């Protein structure tokens, strides 16, 4: 009996989403991949997910999801990930095709048919919000939601992290769903960086996957170093939401009440994490990841790349 967590990865590849696919395939029981508009338009994030599926030789379905957020207009992060959403490497065209254009229906059906599924969204939460609205019963069936998003500071704005900022209404549904919720925010993911020595370790691995991922990580880190003053590498956000389930011993966390700001002129999309030690604070609705043991976590990611690269 595997003690691997069973997950559906909902993503917007995206350089760090691509690495989340690698660690999910290696260390979790990955039931399927669903895609969402975020780092790039849905057609691109879906194409990129298929590229990664074929590069890893995975036998998992890929279901295309929401074309845009619930309320807000679609927004992309081409300033980080490039026009394709996965710039910086010579990507082999996928031969796989999508299994459906109904990611939300796939999530609902799969949760209803399987016990103990974790939903792991690493992009805007549109698909997850829609699934919870269409089928509230899944909120009581899933093992939980482990998301990359939010944090004690922003990136797309001073206050808001990109995934939450793109679709705050969907995020509000998720943070209020009432079940187990784990949040890998920017204060956590910025501890997990693709430094040049780590990138060089990937580039030294044999095989096409390592070659492609080494180039993608180099592009990602070069972009981060160009845009930030004091970072020694790109923050590899999305794998944290997988590794905290597969290797929880590498993470420190705190339970807190978290709300999503929907109306603030300057703060829309902000996750307000209540860290006051007052007895009056509202009951915690989220396990907020606070620390990661980055060296062994990165070793795990490199080992996963090596496993699939040949
Ligand atoms: O803010 C970082 C998050 O936004 C990551 O998930 C990245 O892939 C983008 O989706
Ligand atoms: Ca992402």
Q: What is the mean pLDDT of the chain?
A: 97
Helix, strand, or coil (residue 288): strand
pLDDT at 243: 98
Mean pLDDT of 187-196: 98
* 54 has a pLDDT exceeding 60: yes
Cβ pair 144, 190 in contact under 8 A: no
* 280 has a pLDDT exceeding 90: no
Q: In this structure, which residue's CA is closest to atom 10 in ligand 1?
A: 123
The pair of three-digit structure tokens given for residue 273, joined into one six-digit string: 């994490």
Phi, psi of 306 (to 5 degrees): -60, -35
* 53 has a pLDDT exceeding 70: yes
Q: For the chain, what percent of residues have pLDDT higher than 90? A: 97
Catalytic residue among 81, 237, 247, 307: 237
| CA angle (86, 90, 95) in 5-degree steps | 85
Is the pTM of the predicted complex or chain greater than 0.85? yes
Mean pLDDT of 244-272: 98
Mean pLDDT of 36-61: 98
Which DSSP letter does residue 100 get? B
Cβ pair 82, 216 in contact under 8 A: no
**Gap from CA of 280 to ligand 2 centroid (Å):** 35
Which whole-number Å values give the CA distances from 292 to 47, 87, 111, in the listed order?
Answer: 31, 28, 29
**Gap from CA of 37 to ligand 2 centroid (Å):** 10
Closest to 284 in 3D by CA, of 246, 254, 245, 240:
254
Domains located in the chain, CATH noted: 6-308 (3.90.245.10)
Strand (E) or helix (H) holding 43: helix 42-56
């Amino acid at each position: 009996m595997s003690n691997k967590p069973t997950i559906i990865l909902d993503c917007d590849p995206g350089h760090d989403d691509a690495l989340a696919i690698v660690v999910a395939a290696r260390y979790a029981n990955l039931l399927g991949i669903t895609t969402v508009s975020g780092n790039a338009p849905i057609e691109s994030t879906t194409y990129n997910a298929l590229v990664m599926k074929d590069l890893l030789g995975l036998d998992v379905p890929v279901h295309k999801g929401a074309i845009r957020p619930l309320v807000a207009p679609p927004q992309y992060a081409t300033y980080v990930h490039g026009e394709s959403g996965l710039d910086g490497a010579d990507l082999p065209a996928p031969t796989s095709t999508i299994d459906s254009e109904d990611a939300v229906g796939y999530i609902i059906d799969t949760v209803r048919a399987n016990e103990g599924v974790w939903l792991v969204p690493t992009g805007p939460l549109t698909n997850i919000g829609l699934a919870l609205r269409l089928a509230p019963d899944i909120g009581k069936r899933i093992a939980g939601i482990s998301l990359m998003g939010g944090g004690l500071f922003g990136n797309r704005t001073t206050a808001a992290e990109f995934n939450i900022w793109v679709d705050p209404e969907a995020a509000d549904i998720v943070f209020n769903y009432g079940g187990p919720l784990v949040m890998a925010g920017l204060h956590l993911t910025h501890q997990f960086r693709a430094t040049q020595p780590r990138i060089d370790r990937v580039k030294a691995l044999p095989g096409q996957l390592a070659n492609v991922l080494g180039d993608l990580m180099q592009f990602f880190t070069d972009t981060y170093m160009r845009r930030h003053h004091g970072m020694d590498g790109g923050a590899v956000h999305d794998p944290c939401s997988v590794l905290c389930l597969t290797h929880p011993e590498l993470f420190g966390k705190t339970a807190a009440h978290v709300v999503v700001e929907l109306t603030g002129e300057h703060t829309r999309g902000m996750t307000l994490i209540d860290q006051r030690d007052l007895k009056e604070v509202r009951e915690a609705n989220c396990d907020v990841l606070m620390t990661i043991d980055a060296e062994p976590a990165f070793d795990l990611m490199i080992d996963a790349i090596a496993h699939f690269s040949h």
